[in-house]
Structure 1
Amino acid sequence: MRRMYPLLVAVLLALLLTGCGANSNQNGTADVPNASLSANSSSGIDTKGQSSSEATAPPTEASPSDAPSPVASNATDDQVLDVAKQAVEYLRERDLSSLAQMIDPEQGLRFSPYFHVNPDTDLVFKTESLPTFKDATKLKWGTADGSGDPIELSFRDYYDKFVYDRDFEDAPKISINKLIGTGNTKFNGSEIYPNASFVEFHFPGFDEKNDGMDWESLVLVFVPSEADWKLAAIVHGQWTT
C-alpha cells in the first residue's frame, strides 16, 4: 500500500496541472495579445501620437487682413505695358483728345526728338495747351543731330517725323524699362524722371544693307499718379552719328 502512495501523488499533480492550463486558455491572457493595444488600430493615433484628423488636416489659410495691400505706385510691368499700348493706339489713330487725358497734370507732356532728353530745349505741354494738327505755327523742338540746325516744325510736321513716323503699334520688339535701341546718344529719361517707367516700341532696322543702323524706336515715359500711370514724355529714338 505504501508503494502506491508515490503513484497516487504523481497522478494528482498531473490532474492539477492540467486543470490550471485549461483555465489559462479560457481567460485569454496567457498567449494572445489584446488587439486593442495595436499601434495600427482604428483609434486615430499615428506613430507620432497625433490623431488622424490632426495629421491630415489642411493648413489654415491666412485671413484677408493678413495679406499685404497693393501699393498704387508699384504697378506691375503688365499694367505699364497696357497703358503704353493704349497710348500708342491713340498716337496711331492721331486721337489727340484721348491722348491728352493721359498726360500727367503736374509735369505735362514732353516731346524729345532724340534719346537724350534735354530739359533746356524740349517742349512740354499741359493737357489744355497741347497743339492740334491744324496749328501751322512753327515751333523750335531742339537741334538736329549732326548739323546742329534748329528743328523748326509745325506740330503736324514734328509728329510725322519725330513721333509716329513708323507704325510703332506693330513694332516687332517691345521692351519695358530696358532699352533695345543703342547708339551714340544715350537715353537719360530715367534721370529726368527717376520714379518713372518707360516702354520702348522698337524696329531693329528696315534695310539689310544698313546692318541695323536704320533702327527706330518710340519710347513712352510714364510717371505714377495715385492708382494710375500718366504719360510724361514721348521720346523718339534712332541711330545717331
Structure 2
Amino acid sequence: MMRRLLPLLAAVLLALQLGGCGAGAGNDSNAAPSPSSNTEAPLAASPSGSPTAARPEPSASESPSASAPAESVRPEDPEAALLNAAKEVVGALRDRDLKRLASWIDPELGVRFSPYAHMDEKNDLVFKPEKLPTFKDAEALTWGSYDGSGEPIELTFRDYFEKFVYDQDFAEAPDVTANKLLGTGNTPFNGKELYPGSSFVEFHFPGFDDKLEGHDWESLVLVFVPSGDQWRLCAVVHSQWTI
C-alpha cells in the first residue's frame, strides 16, 4: 500500500514546486510593467523638435471654422442722423427746454431766428449758445419786418417764440421731410445759399381750414450744418403763406 502512494506524493510535491516558481517569476521587480489606464498621455514632437503634451482635437463648437464671423457695424445713414437731430431739437422746442436747445446750437455760427422762409442775412437775430435769450427777458427785440405791412416785428423772446417758432405742435406735424420743402410760396427759402453745405428738415402742416384750400399751411424749418460726425443747429425758420 505504501509503495503505491509514494509515486502519487512525489507528483504532488513536484507540482507544488513548479507552482511556487511561477509565482516568483510573476513578482519579479525586473519584469516590464503592463500598460495601465492611469498612464500619462504620450508626448508629441513640436515643430521645434522638443516634446509637447498631446492635445485633443477641438470639438465642432470650439473649432474656429465653426464660429460665425462678427457682423460688421454699418455707419448711421446721414439722412437718418439728420432726422434724429431735428426730432431732438423740435422736442426741445415743444418742451420749452432752452438748455437742451442750446446744446444743439453750433458754437461758431450760433442760431438764426427767421420769421419767414427767406432769411435776412443782415437783420435776422443770431445768438450763440451761451447768449440765447430766456422766456423771462422783458426786453422787446426787433426780429425783422411783418410781411405785407413792413412794420418791424418788435417782440420779447417769449412772444416771438409763441408766434414765429412754435405756434403749432410741430413735433406732431403730419409731414416731415429732409432737404425737400413741401410748404412753398412767393417767399423762397434760401438756407442752402446762406449756409453752404447745410441740410434742413421741414415739419409741415398742409393746412387747418378746408375753406382756405391749403393757403393756411405752416412749416417749421430747422437748418443744420455738419460738425465732425454730428449735426449742429444754425437756423430756426418759420414758414407760411405770405402775400
**What is the TM-score when the length of structure 2 is the normalising length?**
0.69
Q: Distance in 2 between matches of 1:214 and 1:125?
A: 30
Q: Paired residues, what number?
A: 174
Aligned twin of 2:237 = 235
Aligned twin of 1:217 = 219
Aligned twin of 1:193 = 195
Q: What amino acid sits opposite 2:233 in the alignment?
A: L
Q: Which aligned segments of 4 or more residues in structure 1 are displaced greater than 6 angstroms? A: none
Q: Distance in 1 between matches of 2:146 and 2:192?
A: 22
- Report 1:1-241 matches (<5 A): 76-241=78-243
- Please list the CA deviations of residues 13-64 of structure 1 after superposition, one character each: whole Å capped at 9, or x if unmatched: xxxxxxxxxxxxxxxxxxxxxxxxxxxxxxxxxxxxxxxxxxxxxxxxxxx9
2:220 is paired with a residue whose SS is strand
- Please list the CA deviations of residues 163-204 of structure 1 after superposition, one character each: whole Å capped at 9, or x if unmatched: 000000000001100100011100011111111110000000
Q: Distance in 2 between matches of 1:91 and 1:152?
A: 21
1:152 is paired with a residue whose SS is strand
Point out where structure 2 has 5 or more consecutive residues left out of the alignment: 1-70
Q: What amino acid sits opposite 1:229 in the alignment?
A: W
The alignment-based identity, stated in percent, is: 62
Aligned twin of 1:26 = none
Distance change in 2, residues 1:101/1:156 (3 Å): same
Distance change in 2, residues 1:75/1:194 (3 Å): farther
Q: Distance in 2 between matches of 1:133 and 1:142?
A: 19
Q: Distance in 1 between matches of 2:182 and 2:194?
A: 19
Deviation, structure 1 residue 210: 0.4
CA root-mean-square deviation: 1.9
- Which has the larger Rg? 2
Q: Distance in 1 between matches of 2:231 and 2:100?
A: 15
Q: What amino acid sits opposite 1:180 in the alignment?
A: L
Deviation, structure 1 residue 227: 1.2
Deviation, structure 1 residue 128: 0.7
Q: Distance in 2 between matches of 1:78 and 1:132?
A: 31
1:158 is paired with a residue whose SS is helix
- Please list the CA deviations of residues 42-96 of structure 1 after superposition, one character each: whole Å capped at 9, or x if unmatched: xxxxxxxxxxxxxxxxxxxxxx9xx9x96xxx96111100000000000000000
Q: What amino acid sits opposite 2:108 in the alignment?
A: E
1:175 is paired with a residue whose SS is strand
Q: What amino acid sits opposite 1:224 in the alignment?
A: P
- Please list the CA deviations of residues 119-146 of structure 1 after superposition, one character each: whole Å capped at 9, or x if unmatched: 1110000011000000010000000000
Deviation, structure 1 residue 111: 0.2
